[in-house]
Chain A
Amino acid sequence: DAGVIQSPRHEVTEMGQEVTLRCKPISGHNSLFWYRQTMMRGLELLIYFNNNVPIDDSGMPEDRFSAKMPNASFSTLKIQPSEPRDSAVYFCASTPGHPLSSGNTIYFGEGSWLTVV
Chain B
Amino acid sequence: GENVEQHPSTLSVQEGDSAVIKCTYSDSASNYFPWYKQELGKRPQLIIDIRSNVGEKKDQRIAVTLNKTAKHFSLHITETQPEDSAVYFCAASTGYSSASKIIFGSGTRLSIRP
Contacts and interface: CB of A to CB of B under 8 A. Distances in A.
B106 interface: yes
A42 B34 contact: no
Given A91-B43, A104-B34, A104-B95, 15 more contacts: A31-B98, A31-B99, A42-B105, A43-B107, A45-B104, A50-B98, A55-B99, A99-B97, A99-B98, A103-B49, A104-B96, A105-B46, A106-B46, A106-B102, A109-B43
B42 interface: yes
A111 interface: yes
Interface in B36-76: 42-46, 49, 51
B89 interface: yes
Nearest to B104: A43
Interface of A: 30-31, 33, 35, 42-43, 45, 48, 50, 55-56, 58, 91, 95, 97-99, 103-111
Contacts, number: 64
5 contacts: A31-B98, A42-B89, A43-B104, A91-B44, A103-B51
A106 B42 contact: no
Contacts of A97: 98-99
Contacts of B106: 42
A104 B100 contact: yes
